[in-house]
Amino acid sequence: MLSLSQRLYRQYGLTRAYYSGFSPVIQTPFENLPATDPLREHRLYQASFLLRDYGWKVEDLPFLPDGNMELALDPKRAWAERYLREAPLEIMTARRDQLLRIPGIGPGGADAILRARRLGHLTDLSHLRQLNIRTPEQAAPYIEVG
């Protein structure tokens, strides 16, 4: 599903994909099957936004060995836990695409960081809040500041 969404976003300019979890329908062969966990649908939307708005590729998403995404963490945080927890990004040198991998930093926040770096040194998390990054504490485990 996400591969198709990625292709539709990139090749055809699709602006939004919609997902719906399975719900059993009475008097069908599927009536006794369990409904999809609503959190799975939510994670699909989060992953879709990463593809559409953050420039991620399907290959970048943190899939489990069974091909599903982890339900306990949003996809961006799951990726950061896997790749940034032990090797945090230096906020003063990270590229825009790298900044977009940090939980709590979206496209607007990444652009604000890039602008602020030209003007001075970002030395602590309070500077991120001044840049209208609402949740710098989400970014804290995955970045080095100063």
In the chain, domain spans = 2-83, 89-144
Q: What is the pLDDT of residue 122?
A: 86
Stretch 13-37: mean pLDDT, rounded? 95
Q: What is the pLDDT of residue 126?
A: 87
Q: In sequence order, which ranges of the chain are alpha helices (DSSP H)?
A: 2-12, 38-53, 75-83, 96-99, 107-119, 125-130, 136-139
Whether 145 contacts 134, CB under 8 Å: no
pLDDT tens digits along 84-102 = 999 999 999 999 999 999 9
Residue 54 pLDDT greater than 80, yes or no: yes
Across the chain, what does the average pLDDT equal?
A: 94
Q: What is the pLDDT of residue 33?
A: 96
